[in-house]
């Protein structure tokens, strides 16, 4: 075999190998085109879903950013609307998280709606949120000035007991949650004239926390305010004394001071009212009740100055301001300073009497929730 033959053979082999190689690559190329189409589709779906997921997250963030200031505000109707809007426009999971984080009076109805379709851990979270919201609404109602919706307070506390048995709430907040539920509903029952139910609730609270002073305070208020033959100022005073012995504070001194005034114990009333003023130096009612006790003692001039101070603290409280003005008119007429229309010559009076009582607290900048009756458990915090 000549060199030329060898060369031709090598060329033939090379050509054959190149053709086989080409066939393999062609097949692979065709297959890879198919595979690429699939992969491109898969990758496209992945990134589309990821983008959509990101869009959803961005949208949820925007919804949350708009809802949170509303849920953290004071407008309870707006809170309800915001939570329901999140549930319908975004998703229920986000609504559940927000309902859990911002459980207040305004979220009761919205949380009730979400609870109906919830399950598993979400349901338990919503249940706890609803308990907190109902308790919050009862407390807010409790703190209303003027017309308190006692019926709704009874319904809210009763709904708490429907959602969870009282025995299952004994450990919540070391027993204070359940005891306060009984205390609030008991006082609401008393205000509705249902005295037997009231006593039963307060006694149930005492079975949980026998040394909780606010429950004795509630009993004192019950026996003082009831309108039947069982009204008993002496028994009410005994319960107030016990509440104070158990370190109840705040309005209990206001209540006992007012009761002492009603019983014509002016000196004892002044001691309690001074303690209350020390505790809440910006509350106009403490000064007003002190003026009443001073009038009982015939100390009209100090009463006049105390009422002036009370009027300054009541500038943003229309209810108390009107009450103080009425008493001020009475004092001015008694002192010969003005007529029955409240017109007076204060400059002439101030020239004849000692200077006014020094201010003991900051003037208010907003209407402070306060009760004219001093319902037990209302404390300035």
Kindly indicate the confidence band of residue 248, based on its pLDDT and cuts at 50, 70 and 90.
Answer: confident
Residue 304 to residues 273, 293, 345, 349, Cα–Cα distance (Å): 16, 12, 13, 10
Per residue in 7-46, pLDDT (tens digit) is: 444 454 345 445 544 454 454 344 444 434 443 343 344 3
- 138 and 253, same domain (yes or no): no
Query: Which residues sit opposite 344 in a β-bridge?
Result: 338
Give 46-96 pLDDT, tens digit per residue: 334 444 455 545 555 665 666 667 766 666 667 667 766 666 655 667 666
Q: Residues 256, 136: one domain? A: no
Does residue 263 sit in the same domain as residue 381?
A: yes
Residue 327, domain CATH? 1.25.40.10
- Determine, yes or no, domain membership for 88: yes
- Contact (Cβ atoms closer than 8 angstroms) between residue 148 and residue 167: no
Question: Is 181 among the domain residues?
Answer: no
Cα gap 32→197, rounded to integer Å: 82
Q: Are residues 375 and 253 in the same domain?
A: yes
Question: What is the separation, in whole angstroms, between the first and last Cα of the chain?
Answer: 114
On whether residue 21 sits in a domain, the answer given is yes
How far apart (Å, rounded) are the C-alpha atoms in residues 258 and 322? Answer: 19
Distance CA 380, CA 283 (A): 9
137 and 20 fall within a common domain: yes
- Does an H or E element contain 282, and which? none
Name residues whose C-beta falls within 8 Å of residue 143's C-beta, 6 or more positions apart in sequence.
369, 370, 371, 378
Is pLDDT above 90 for 199?
yes
Task: Evaluate whether residue 345 is within a structural domain.
Answer: yes
**Is the domain of 265 the same as that of 131?**
no
Cα separation of 59 and 38, whole Å? 31
Q: Residue 38 domain-assigned? A: yes
Q: Which domain holds residue 364?
A: 249-381
**pTM of the shown model:** 0.68
Are 135 and 6 in a shared domain? yes
Phi, psi angle pair for 339, to nearest 5°: -100, -175
Residue 143 has pLDDT above 50, yes or no: yes
Residue 48 is assigned to a structural domain of this protein: yes
Q: Report the mean per-residue pLDDT for the chain.
A: 76
Q: Which of 267, 242, 234, 237 is nearest to 255 (CA)?
A: 237
Q: Is 57 exposed, middle or buried (0-12, 13-18, 19+ CB in 10 A)?
A: exposed
Decide which of 100, 115, 142 is a domain's last residue.
Answer: 142
378 within some domain:
yes
Select from 117, 142, 167 the last residue of a domain.
142
How many domains does the chain fold into? Answer: 2
Among 142, 176, 201, give the residue marking a domain's end.
142
3, 138: one domain: yes
120, with CB counted inside 10 A (0-12, 13-18, 19+), is exposed
In a domain, 240, yes or no: no
Cβ–Cβ < 8 Å for 236, 223: yes
Q: What is the pLDDT of residues 252-304, one digit of tens each?
A: 999 999 999 999 999 999 999 999 999 999 999 999 999 999 999 999 999 99
């Amino acid at each position: 075999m000549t060199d030329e033959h060898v060369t031709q053979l090598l060329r033939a082999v090379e050509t054959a190998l190149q053709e086989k190689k080409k066939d393999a690559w062609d097949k692979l190329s065709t297959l890879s085109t198919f595979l690429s189409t699939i992969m491109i589709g898969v990758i496209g779906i992945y990134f589309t879903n990821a983008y959509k997921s990101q869009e959803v997250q961005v949208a949820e963030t925007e919804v949350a950013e708009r809802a949170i200031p509303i849920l953290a505000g004071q407008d309870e109707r707006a809170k309800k609307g915001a939570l329901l809007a999140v549930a319908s426009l975004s998703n229920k999971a986000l609504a559940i998280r927000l309902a859990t984080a911002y459980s207040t009076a305004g979220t009761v109805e919205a949380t009730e709606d979400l609870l109906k379709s919830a399950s598993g851990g979400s349901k338990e979270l919503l249940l706890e949120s609803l308990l907190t919201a109902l308790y919050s609404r009862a407390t807010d109602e409790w703190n209303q000035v003027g017309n308190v919706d006692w019926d709704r307070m009874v319904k809210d506390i009763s709904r708490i007991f429907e959602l969870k048995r009282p025995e299952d709430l004994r450990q919540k907040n070391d027993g204070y949650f359940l005891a306060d539920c009984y205390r609030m509903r008991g006082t609401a029952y008393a205000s509705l004239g249902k005295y037997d139910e009231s006593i039963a609730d307060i006694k149930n609270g005492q079975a949980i926390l026998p040394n909780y002073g606010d429950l004795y305070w509630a009993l004192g208020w019950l026996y003082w305010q009831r309108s039947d033959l069982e009204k008993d100022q002496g028994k009410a005073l005994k319960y107030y004394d016990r509440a104070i012995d158990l370190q109840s504070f705040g309005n209990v001194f206001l209540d006992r001071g007012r009761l002492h005034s009603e019983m014509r114990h002016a000196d004892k009333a002044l001691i309690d009212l001074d303690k209350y003023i020390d505790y809440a130096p910006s509350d106009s009612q403490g000064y007003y009740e002190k003026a009443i006790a001073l009038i009982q003692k015939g100390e009209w001039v100090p009463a006049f100055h105390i009422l002036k101070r009370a009027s300054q603290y009541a500038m943003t409280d229309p209810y108390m301001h009107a009450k103080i003005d009425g008493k001020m008119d009475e004092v001015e007429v008694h002192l010969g300073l003005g007529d029955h229309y409240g017109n007076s010559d204060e400059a002439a009076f101030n020239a004849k009497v000692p200077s006014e009582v020094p201010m003991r607290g900051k003037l208010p900048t907003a209407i402070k929730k306060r009760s004219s009756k001093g319902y037990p458990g209302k404390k300035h915090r």
